[in-house]
Every structure is written in structure tokens, then in C-alpha cells.
Structure 1
């Protein structure tokens, strides 16, 4: 393996010259020539100094980081690598496993832990910050590599990049980013705190130089010119996901690839499964040579686009400005569709850091000799200039031309704006220090005088004096709340470590690293009735209330609820003013809100620190389960095709939390079923979110799986327990529609399954002749409702008691079917009607869900 060769070069001495020679010998053997900036940074690192590496994208900062880890390992020290996002931490973990051997590399991300005692640790910045707060100067962190250090200025997360600088005075630091701006104050501060020299290594010269152009042609023409000028691949930057997808659709009329290139794309795609509605759209785009890339996509779709781009097969990628962090996509040209963006509060011009972070992706070493950055003039400006060019120099006609105006709220930019951004240095990083309950608890828990430690932390940070005073007042208020709750107590005499106050509660070793409200959830489970028919779903609701809000999903739920309410009120003749008043009270579903809110307030009195993390009752997974929805059903119901990745990440987080937070003695059989169902839903949509998490205990196997690029999940029938739930839900979905007497929807549902079996050339029986029609359902439902007033859809109808399965051998190659019967729950309790179907296991494996054929809906006997 590559790591063996590296460690064969470990010198017998820790002499800086020997360490440098050993590492550069390894890079030479791999055919890598170091840039002057890399050499300068490595020399400083092996001699023990801090380094601020402010070099352009593609200049080999990762290789310098590897040198820092190598020097630390050779000296018998422990090193940390931190990054802003878990996906980048995971990617770097596998890279370092390949270079140093999996036994020597560990990972901590808060929801995953592997080999935590390893000499090299990859973790998020928040994890390292928590370690620094808990252990202070005694933390076992000798070398700290902080990647994407410009996140220091992030309003919500910047504190995590600052805390290690404040609390780890023994550590040697390597701070890396392409967009740091003026860092003089960091040089001075790091040297003062660590006693080490601090060197800033800058290089304005990129390994691949950039050429800039301002475009006064419509975007279609600009793209054509770039393609004809051999400047592809082109990354077209948009500032909303919707705009990126619309642009990809509009470019389908442009022939960006040759027939041979399209054949190569089809070959690389192979049997990749485009399983969702957006996936079908993406399939059309990529086969045409156009990619889409944004944070709302499923991870497997983003990886496919990246693989196709790395193979040089995508000529155009329409994406958002989120490409800047940790994505390895070779791009020759970055094309800005605008130089302004909506930042969540207002429309404003791009900042220099934002511009350079995106523009810096153009031109990658090893791929290009030059990179290109282009910016489009505003559409109305282009249109006006073209119209005036047609008019010519006639002053009378030019005066008579009515110029097209900018859209309302538009923030203008020009070529001068573009030039100013090119020349501007990134803005200085702004301190984002925060004080929380978790911070005080961590400091109080460590040995020593906590008052002295907090005083130093609050008065010797990077904040201005006015902000420091606010933080001091907040810290005092938090300390008093901890005293009042009895969480901490004063000591009459300092203890053997110098503590003058101590905790009266035991905090888990990874306190504040896992789900912040998990301890509240454990307490809330005791409030539930295990005998209740809704017990499993109520446990789920407790868990969902502790998860971060998926804002796009909740907004879609609320919009749908309000739309349905408006329709009902209009039909009932409710006046406009009253409708408006009632609508203000409608929100997304919040099961157990009253119970959980009351419990949360009581719990917070004894555990004040959870006040940093508000409770948020919601029902995403619960709604899916109660309504027997598939992933595609849910996305279609709420029109979330552009946010599939957000939906899936939420489901994956819920699955992990259910698996790890709910104690085994709390899990009923139905809850076990629900957890298995949820895990299978996630796997079948995109197995990477669960499989990688579960495979982290075996990094080499996980790396091997990742290297294959195979997105195929395990057969859905391989998990019989989860598959039974999927079958039960598929039948219950039909029961719900039958309860609404919706023959058309039932026919559509059956038709979808019939289409799957037809496309696969599969049939459950020789006499199979297609799906039930709306007329078939209408006739059967008419007979049912002649005998019963309604179909019940309560817990009994949804549960396993009324489902009967005749299972065939799952691994048989012939007649792989289950015969299933769903008894209908009627008000009289007769239960004399039954829905009969057969489930085709082969089709189910191919589709990643239960695929069935209705045989009958009739009265027993």
C-alpha cells in the first residue's frame, strides 16, 4: 500500500533536515515536484514553526498538510486535521488512510467515531474546539492542521476555528486557505500564544494562471464561444438551485458533445440507477454532456457528475456557488451568471472572498495550462447594447429608443465591478466568538481554576472590547443558571487540581459532540405509554423534535397545509379576513408539541445548557411512515425534487439517531420494524449515507467500496424485516386510497408497478395480464361500500395484525414471489373483505421498493 513506502522513509532522527529529506524523497518517488511555496512551508513545519498557508486553489496545500502529519508522526506526536464539513473530513480520512495506513488514522465527526486513539485524527472544527475546551493546554494535540480556515469568519460556526487557537498553546498550527486576506494579526497572536515563530507563505502566482473576460453576449452565445474556443469544461455559476437546473434545461438545445463523447458518457454511466424524479432529469442532462451540481442533490448524483467531469466527459456544469469547498472537479472555465446574490437577507454584490473562492476553481494543475474566468453582463444591459448596435449612430433614433429597465430589486454590476473583484484582496477575517452553556461546562469540568480559565478565554480572544463585555455578561448569566439548577457547586476549599467549583453531574466523554438534545430525548421516552398503539411513532416524534430543522421540507409542509386550508375555507364560504386570521395559525405538523414543550421546560431547569438548543417538534419521517409513502412519493407530494439531498440527509440523521439514541429496552417490535424500514429507505435511495457510516469501523473495506464508484445498494429483499414493512406500506397505501374511494389513484399506483415489471420483462405468474384499471377498482369499491360505510385506516389497519404473508424462498431463482393478503378494517369489525396481491421479489430488488400486483379486492368466501 502507498503508506508502507512513506514509512519506510521515516528517519532514525527527528532532525529537521532529515525529516524534510525523508518527506521530499517520498514526493520525488511519486513523481511530484514541489512548488517553492510548498518547500518554504514544509521547511518551517519540520523546524517546529507555525505556518499560515495562503496560496491559490490547486497549489498543493494538501501535500503540505501531509508533510505536517508526517513530521508529527516521526516525532511521536499526535496531529489533527480539521475541515468545515463532514464530507470533506471523511474524504481526507480515506486519503490519509491510503498514505499512512488505516491503523494510524482515526476520525471524529460527532456522529461517527473510528480509531479515536490513532496518532492522526481527522475531525470537524467543532470536535477539535470541544476537545480544546475540555482539556485546555493539556489536550493531546501537538500539531493542528486547519483546512478552509476562512470559515473562521462564518457567523454561525466561526467560533470553532478560533477556540483551538486560544486554548491549545502547546500546539503547532498549519492554517490553510486560498482566500485569507490580511493575516498579520494571526501571525502575531499565534507567536505570542505558542512561543513558536509563525510564517505566512503566500503565492500570488498560481500553478495554472487565470485569464479574465467580461461578456456582453447572451449566455447561450457565450457558452458556444467557450466551447468553440476549447475552454471546456465550463462551470456556470448560479446563486439558486432552481436557476442552475433551468439553465441546464435551456442548454439542451446546444450540441455540446460529439456522438463518440455521448457514447463514452453512456459507457461510464453503465448501470447507474437514476431512481428519483430529479434523477430522470439529470440522466437526460448528463447524457447530453451537461452536468448539474448543487447541495440539494443526492450525494450519489453529485458523485456521478464529479466522476464524469474528472473523466473529461462533461463540457458544461450548471451549479451553485457551493462548489468552493472540498470538491475535486477539474474545471477549465468558471462563468459567473451574475456578480450579485441574495444572502438570505438582501441582494448584494459578491464579496472579494466569495468571488475568489469560486473563481479559483478554474484551471487545475495536471489538467490545464491556463484557466479562464468570465462574467456575464446583466441581461438587460446586453439587450440594450444589442438594440443600440442595430440602430447605429443615428442620434435621433438612439434618443427614441426606450431602454429596457433592470428588474425590481436588481443590484447593478459592470465590467468595473468585475475588475475591482479581480484586483481586490479577500476581506480580513472577522472574529465570530460565542459563549455557550457547553463551553462553561467543558471548562468547569477540566482540572484547574475554572474562573481563571474562563477569564482568560473571555478577555484574551480576538473580539473587540465591546463584544468581550457582552460575552462576559452572558457567561455570568449562564454560570448563575448552572448554580441555580444545582449543576455546579462552589467548593469551600480548592480541590487537589485547583478547582473552586465542580460539576454535580457526570457528562459523557463526548459531551456536546453528539446530538445536543439526546439526553432530553432519553428522559422524554419515559413519558410515553409503551402500551399505546402509537408508541413507536411517539418515540419517533421525540427523536424528530431533537433533530435540526430541514427548513425547505418544513416550509413545503406548511405551504401545502395552508393551501389545503384555503381551499376548504373557500368551499365553506369563509370570508377573506377570517381566512387570513385562521391561516396565521396554520403550520407544519408538530406531533406531541404540547407534551414535549412542557417536558423540555422542566428538563431545562435542571439542565440549563440545553437552552442553547431549542426543541423543534416536527413530523417528516412520521408522516412518511403513517401515510405509507416511499421516498419518491414524499418528494413528489411536497415538490422537493431540487432538495432530494436535504430530504435524504434528514432521513439518514433520523435513522442514525434512532439506532444510537433509543435504548434497546425502549424499542418495541413495531419500533424495530420502523427503524429497519427507515434504514432501507435511505439505502435504496443512496446507500452511501448509511453504508459509509456503518463501514467506518473497517476503513480499508470502506475505501475499497468508495473506490469502485458503485452506487448500487444491496437487494431490498436481503433485509426481510425491512422488506415486510415495505410490503405492508405498499398495501396500506392502497387501503388509504380505497378509504378515499379514489379509483383513479389506485389504478395509477398499480400501473406504476405494472410498468416496472414490464420494463424488466418480469411477471409474477404466466397468466399475468397487467394492472387493475380504474373501472376494476370502481366496481370493487362500489360493492364494498354497499355493505360498509367506510374503510378504517387507524393503527390496526396499518399494523402487522391484518397482514398475512405467504413467503417463498427469498434466494430462489424461480417464482420469487410473496402472496400477501391485507384484511380490511371496517367499522362493524366484521373484517370480511380482503385485498389480495403478489409481490414480485425480482422487480422489487430492481426498483428498490416493494413492487406488487393486485389480484383481488373482494369479500371473503
Structure 2
């Protein structure tokens, strides 16, 4: 076994690594490797998907193992970390090191967490950088950030941004990204803002070039059968067939099930594998029947244990097609010869739009396997209506216009009468749009999203000085007006924490002047000026007088009063934000907005068990396509509980935030009930107000108290509640409710509920005790854990295992990693 050698010459390291590569590196790979070994601070590699960037990344892994240093390999997705763990362990063994020298920490799962090479989700690396007293980076040689274009993610991109700003100068950085439009500007910003100089290596050619084909004369089922025919050399499978909805994945897989897609030898091997697998529950029988025909289904609605089966069979080349959603294109390695797109449009039926170019190029890049293919194939199929029109036109044009043959003349006339047409209200796509997606310019990288509430609370808990946070905001990759707005947003956040009693600000916020100045859309409403020159002068004088009065009364004003009147955010510069005892509660909550989470905890102290479950379920995001089938029971089936009847309903009525009808009062002249086809709920011919659920009531009150806290929503569902009605038997529940095709979503919801229950147990309200607050939450979590283990023990244990991180997922976005 190879032993590490401390401080070997970097030229020697480079030479050794090149000798270990079993083939001639592609030009962009060779250039990137040389740049990494010669540049003191690292390299940014921008190249198309399928360029072999893993080979480049493994140079940093080899360096750490060879020198006895530590390195981090970060990815944006938990599923991708699992895959990288396997790949890097195989490489370590191939180089003569031990597999246990590569470990994993995702926040949900750990595997050999003390290994020198750690595969982590990006949030874990950020958390460790924020805890230098617990994690020493002096022995870290490098950090690889894979799929770095996630910097542009609206919600999680800030994780990469903050990490880059906190990395010690000695840590060599390797950023691996798909092609980006402003790579040179990005490296300039990185040096200007964070003094990190990276060498840019760009490539536009793939190791396996792509061949694009527009298919206008075949419907999907027939085309799939064509490209699956032939031997290993001539057929175009295995193929990834991308759909833009989970429901369409199942429909498409069913469509292909009756086709001849695999040979008898592979089908026999499939039968042996599947007969030995346990696929007897939920969607298992349906999926097994589809798999037997050489077709897999892979999306979030499929249970993780079934997705693992699909992945293994596809990697073993026993499946011709894997029907999947676009999330698979984010980096999960399912090597395919071809990519098939039955549609280029995504979205609801009446709001379909062309798929985003960056997503499309990620999808295209999944085609072509360097070890097997000399090219990758990307097929886009025309709409079925257009295929019928093209087939008709081919027949019609085959009969000459000047024919004198009576039979042909009659046939042409009959064909003209039967000419197919596009349907009214249907959405279509074209070959020019397919070409547009191929040629679209790469997206520019820029800072996305606001500073997370939980991270802000943590930073203030560590240091009450505001200036370091303001400096951080000022270094973001934004235009000047974007920086100004980000600074104003920081002021709004600080004042919100102050009005809620989480911090003390010095100096205190100043009441907003009623002067008719232009405000941003998030500020207090603009005061309308009086018409005319004299009116303007009068308004100005009035504004000056009121501003002076507000300044004099500032120290005596209640924060809530200033909040209701508005406050200055443009020029406000607090120096200190001193935490109160309440601030620490925010840091415990990562599954939901922490301000809303603490608010819920304080309200739910007097709730009955059903209200607690319903309120907590409503804050966990469930796709609308699933939520429509798992809605909250009606008031008749589940009357309002203790919290609603003794507190919330009266508050909502008194404050004018809800009508009596919204709280369940029935009108005197209700019309005949009719069934709403969208949600299956009872509706009426005349407009009728649907009663508010417990989650919706809490949200209305929260928004009244925190009007400037954005992006807090609820979606009333009754999943955990109904699962308990089935005695915790997950399979009975999904089968009885005919939700097998979405059981993966429901399973993940239950796991997220367990994590949320654990977090909420750490923020007990004043009105509670351990027996009345923590014990019931722990009991419910234990029951759900037992239910989940019965359906998928491996995934349950992986997700719920202790990560041993002192501050886990400070940005509060860990739920999106799955």
C-alpha cells in the first residue's frame, strides 16, 4: 500500500499523476491539470458536460493522499456525494491507497468522517469554515467544488459564494463547472473581492462529440423501438429519455412497455435480478413489470430503494431506456449513449414554455460515454400532431399535382379532406427552438439569493459587530445597484430581528420620514405629494417637521410602532446588533424559515395533537401535483382544535385578518354543492369561501407580525396525519389512497417531518414543559422512523443518522440537497 510522503515536489506529483492516467488526456484535461499543479491558489475549469472533469478533480484527491494532507470534495446534491464516494474510493485503491481513506459527510449521513479525503455537500464545508474552533484547516491542501455552476442557484448559490470568501489563502481551490458566459469576469471578481487568484481553463469541445437530430416522422414508441434495435455497435441505446413531469414519466414508460426494446439474453438476466429483488409493495409491482421490458423510471416520486435498482440495472447495461426528470441531469452518473427529448416544453398545460437553455445543455451533455462511444446522440421528437401532419404531407406530395390518373386524383382529393391539423389550445415546439437551445449562450454567474436568516442569526451570535456582515454583502457579485439593494435588505433583516426582540441595535432605527421620496417595492408605501409647486413645498416643509419630531421621539418609541410606521433603510448604519436570549432559538431551525418556526413553536404550545401535526406538515414543501390528493380534511371531518378555537380564530376576527366564513361559518343561502375537478373538494355554484386550515391561520397572523419576511408559505396537507390513521403502515396508506406513483415524495415528506420534529423539540415555548412539548414530538418522530424503516431502511438510516456537525446546515437549506 502506498504511504504518504510529506511535502513532495509538485512537479513530481504532477508527473506521478499523469503516469497513473491509463489513456492520453483530452487537451482541456491536460491544460487544467498542469494549471492546477503550477498555480498557487488553484484553477477554474469551465467545460461542457461530458468533458471528463472528474479526471481533473482526482488530481487534488491524489495530492492529498500522497502528501498526507486533508482535502474536501464538495457537490451540490446528496445523491451525487454517494456516487463520488464510490468513485473516489475505487480510484484510491487503484493508486495503492486504502478505500477507508475516503469518507463522506452530508449532514444527513456520515461514512468514515475522519478520513483525509472527505466528500461533502457544500453546506457542510461552509459550516466547518464558520467553526474554526472545532475544525482546523491548517492541514487542508485543497477544496474541489464540483458542479460549480450551482453558484447561480437562486436559493443555495450563496453557499458557494460564502465558502469562497472564507477559505484560507493556502487552500488550493479547484472549481469545476459547465460552460459559463462570464468566466473571465468571475475570476476577476474573485480576486478583487476575496484575493483568490484562479487560473481560468476553458474548453468547448467534448471528448465525445454530440450529434443532434430532429425527428419529425416518428412517434415516440416507434422511434424507441428503432434505436433499440441492432447489435452493441449499431443501436443507439442505452438512452436517457427526459420528461418534464413525474406523471409523464410513468405515462411514457407505460407506452414503451409493450415494445421490443431488449434482446432475450439481457431480458433473462433482468428476470433473474428482478425475481430476487423485493418489489412487492407500493409501486414495486408496476415498476418491476416495466423494468422487465428494459425500461426504468427515475424521479423523486420513486422510492429511493427502487431508484437504486434502476440505477444499478442501467449501469449494468440491462436497460435500454431510463425515463427520468431533468433532476437526473444535475450530475448523477448514468452513462448513456443517447438522450431522447419527447418535448421541449415544460410547465402546466396552459402555461408551457421552452425549457431553460442551461437545463437543456445539462440534459444534452448526458449523451455519450467516453469509454464506449465515439459520439453521443441527442434526439428531439416533434409533437405527435406535427408527426401526423408530416406523414400526411409526405403521402399527399407523393401524388403529382398534374396527375391524370383517376385513381390517384381521387386518392389525393380524399387525402386533402383528411388533412390533420394542430389542435386549438395545444402547445407545440419546433426544430428552430431545438437549434436555439443548442446554440444558446452560457449563463453568467452572479450572486443569488439573500443572506439566510439562520446564518445571520449565527453570525450575530458569534460577533455583534455589523460591519463584517456589511463587508460580506458589499463583496457580492452584483452590479452597484444590486449591492445597494442588498445593503438595504440587510437593514430590513436587522430591524425585523430587533422588532421581534432577537437583538438590540445600536443606534436604534430611525422612523421613516413621510417625505414623498421614491421607495423600493419592499419599503413602506410611498406618501403621495400634493399637486403643484406650492403643494410640493408644503409637503417638503411638512416632511421636515415630522422628521425632526420623529428624531426627537426616537428613544421613546416602541420598536413595533416604528415597524408599523416604516423606517429608514437607505442611510441606516447600525454598528452593533447585540443578541438577546431569544436569538439562539433561531439557530436550531434549518428545515423551515427560523422566524416562522419559532413563531409556530410559541403558538403550538396549546395546540392539540392533530393541530400540531397539521401545522408542522403544512410548512414542509410538497409539490402541488401531490398536495391536491392529500389535502386537509374538511371541518366536518376534523373540526377546529384547541389552538384555533381558544386563540387564533378570535385574533383573526378581531384584527380583521379573516372573515367569519373563512373560519367556518356557513352562509344562510348556500347553493347546491358541486365537485371541484381540480382538488376533489366540495365547492358551490356561487363563489364560496373555503375555510382556512390551521397552517393558513398561523401564516396570516405571522405575516401581520412580520410583514417584511418574504418567501414564507404553507401548503395544507394531511400525510403524516393520515398515515397514523393507518397505524403507521406506509404501504397500506399509499395503496389505499392510490398514491404509489408518488410514494417517494410521501416517503421524503415523512423523513423531513422527523427532522423538523427534532428541531422543534429544541425550541420549547415558555408555556410548555418537557412532558408537554418534547416528549410528544419525540414519540411522533419515533413512530414515523419505525414506519420509514419498514419501507426503506437504508435510506431512513442514511438520512436520519447523526452527522456530528456542531452547527449543521447554517443556511437552513439542507432539505433541498436530496
2:422 aligned to which of 392, 403, 406: 406
The answer to whether 1:585 aligns with 2:690 is yes
**Cα offset, 1:671, TM superposition:** 6.6
**Cα offset, 1:314, TM superposition:** 0.9
Aligned to 1:679: 785
Aligned to 2:119: 122
The answer to whether 1:16 aligns with 2:10 is yes
Aligned to 1:473: 488
C-alpha distance 380-173 of structure 1, shift in aligned 2 (>3 A)? same
**Cα offset, 1:125, TM superposition:** 3.1
Asked whether the 8 Å contact 2:270–2:318 carries over to 1, the reply is: yes
1:40 aligned to which of 17, 31, 36: 31
The answer to whether 1:547 aligns with 2:620 is yes
Equivalent residue runs for 1:368-383 within 5 Å: 368-383=373-388
The answer to whether 1:514 aligns with 2:515 is no
**Cα offset, 1:189, TM superposition:** 1.8
The answer to whether 1:174 aligns with 2:174 is yes
Asked whether the 8 Å contact 1:437–1:612 carries over to 2, the reply is: no
**Cα offset, 1:264, TM superposition:** 0.6
Secondary structure of the 2:276 match is: coil
Structure 2 distance, partners of 1:660, 1:443, is 19
Aligned to 1:556: 629
**Cα offset, 1:634, TM superposition:** 3.0
Asked whether the 8 Å contact 2:503–2:579 carries over to 1, the reply is: yes
Structure 2 distance, partners of 1:511, 1:115, is 27
Structure 2 distance, partners of 1:529, 1:120, is 45
**Cα offset, 1:625, TM superposition:** 0.6
**Cα offset, 1:61, TM superposition:** 1.8
Aligned residues: 670
The answer to whether 1:224 aligns with 2:225 is yes
Q: After the TM superposition, which of the residue ranges 670-679 and 276-285 deviates more from structure 2? A: 670-679
Q: Deviations over 1:266-302 (max 9, x none)?
A: 1122421223342211111111112222222111222
C-alpha distance 344-109 of structure 1, shift in aligned 2 (>3 A)? farther
**Cα offset, 1:175, TM superposition:** 1.8
**Cα offset, 1:454, TM superposition:** 3.0
C-alpha distance 254-145 of structure 1, shift in aligned 2 (>3 A)? same
Aligned to 2:503: 488
Structure 1 distance, partners of 2:66, 2:350, is 49
Structure 2 distance, partners of 1:600, 1:131, is 33
**Cα offset, 1:479, TM superposition:** 1.5
Asked whether the 8 Å contact 1:179–1:356 carries over to 2, the reply is: no
C-alpha distance 296-665 of structure 1, shift in aligned 2 (>3 A)? same
Structure 2 distance, partners of 1:476, 1:668, is 35
Asked whether the 8 Å contact 1:42–1:68 carries over to 2, the reply is: no
Asked whether the 8 Å contact 1:227–1:256 carries over to 2, the reply is: yes
Asked whether the 8 Å contact 1:52–1:201 carries over to 2, the reply is: yes
Structure 2 distance, partners of 1:404, 1:428, is 43
**Cα offset, 1:690, TM superposition:** 1.0
Secondary structure of the 1:375 match is: strand
2:308 aligned to which of 303, 309, 312: 303
Secondary structure of the 2:684 match is: helix
Aligned to 2:520: none
Aligned to 2:203: 203
Asked whether the 8 Å contact 2:249–2:324 carries over to 1, the reply is: yes
Equivalent residue runs for 1:576-655 within 5 Å: 579-580=684-685, 584-586=689-691, 590=693, 618-628=717-727, 630-655=729-754
The answer to whether 1:65 aligns with 2:57 is yes
Structure 1 distance, partners of 2:440, 2:776, is 60
C-alpha distance 472-12 of structure 1, shift in aligned 2 (>3 A)? closer
1:82 aligned to which of 64, 69, 74: 74
Asked whether the 8 Å contact 1:93–1:107 carries over to 2, the reply is: yes
The normalised TM-score by structure 1 is 0.68
C-alpha distance 480-591 of structure 1, shift in aligned 2 (>3 A)? closer
Secondary structure of the 1:200 match is: strand
2:472 aligned to which of 457, 465, 480: 457
Asked whether the 8 Å contact 1:190–1:196 carries over to 2, the reply is: yes
**Cα offset, 1:109, TM superposition:** 3.6
Structure 1 distance, partners of 2:429, 2:717, is 42
C-alpha distance 652-490 of structure 1, shift in aligned 2 (>3 A)? closer
The answer to whether 1:363 aligns with 2:363 is no
Structure 2 distance, partners of 1:318, 1:239, is 10
Secondary structure of the 2:307 match is: helix
**Cα offset, 1:334, TM superposition:** 1.0
Secondary structure of the 2:733 match is: helix
Q: Deviations over 1:118-155 (max 9, x none)?
A: 6544333344455667779x994763322222222223
Aligned to 1:422: 438
Q: Deviations over 1:94-139 (max 9, x none)?
A: 5446637677556554445677676544333344455667779x99
Q: After the TM superposition, which of the residue ranges 375-384 and 576-585 deviates more from structure 2? A: 576-585
Asked whether the 8 Å contact 1:110–1:513 carries over to 2, the reply is: no
**Cα offset, 1:419, TM superposition:** 3.1
Equivalent residue runs for 1:819-858 within 5 Å: none
The answer to whether 1:352 aligns with 2:357 is yes
Asked whether the 8 Å contact 1:179–1:357 carries over to 2, the reply is: no
Asked whether the 8 Å contact 1:518–1:661 carries over to 2, the reply is: no
**Cα offset, 1:544, TM superposition:** 3.3
2:322 aligned to which of 313, 317, 323: 317
The normalised TM-score by structure 2 is 0.71
Asked whether the 8 Å contact 2:618–2:695 carries over to 1, the reply is: no
Equivalent residue runs for 1:264-303 within 5 Å: 264-303=269-308
Structure 1, unaligned runs of 5 or more = 493-497, 699-861
Aligned to 2:157: 158
**Cα offset, 1:343, TM superposition:** 7.6
Structure 1 distance, partners of 2:479, 2:174, is 25
Q: Deviations over 1:605-631 (max 9, x none)?
A: 8xx998775566653212221354632
Asked whether the 8 Å contact 1:110–1:514 carries over to 2, the reply is: no
Asked whether the 8 Å contact 1:132–1:163 carries over to 2, the reply is: no
Asked whether the 8 Å contact 1:114–1:697 carries over to 2, the reply is: no
Aligned to 1:389: 394
Structure 2 distance, partners of 1:403, 1:411, is 19
Structure 1 distance, partners of 2:99, 2:502, is 40
Asked whether the 8 Å contact 1:440–1:475 carries over to 2, the reply is: no
C-alpha distance 635-459 of structure 1, shift in aligned 2 (>3 A)? same
Q: Deviations over 1:181-220 (max 9, x none)?
A: 4412112222334545422223333222222222122223
**Cα offset, 1:561, TM superposition:** 6.0
The answer to whether 1:56 aligns with 2:56 is no
The answer to whether 1:327 aligns with 2:327 is no
C-alpha distance 341-672 of structure 1, shift in aligned 2 (>3 A)? closer
C-alpha distance 349-578 of structure 1, shift in aligned 2 (>3 A)? closer
Structure 2 distance, partners of 1:322, 1:280, is 24
C-alpha distance 96-49 of structure 1, shift in aligned 2 (>3 A)? same
Q: Deviations over 1:632-669 (max 9, x none)?
A: 34334544333211111011222344456537755898
C-alpha distance 550-638 of structure 1, shift in aligned 2 (>3 A)? farther
Structure 1 distance, partners of 2:437, 2:505, is 55
Equivalent residue runs for 1:739-754 within 5 Å: none
C-alpha distance 442-636 of structure 1, shift in aligned 2 (>3 A)? same
Asked whether the 8 Å contact 2:619–2:715 carries over to 1, the reply is: yes
Secondary structure of the 1:52 match is: strand
**Cα offset, 1:12, TM superposition:** 3.4
Structure 2 distance, partners of 1:133, 1:148, is 22
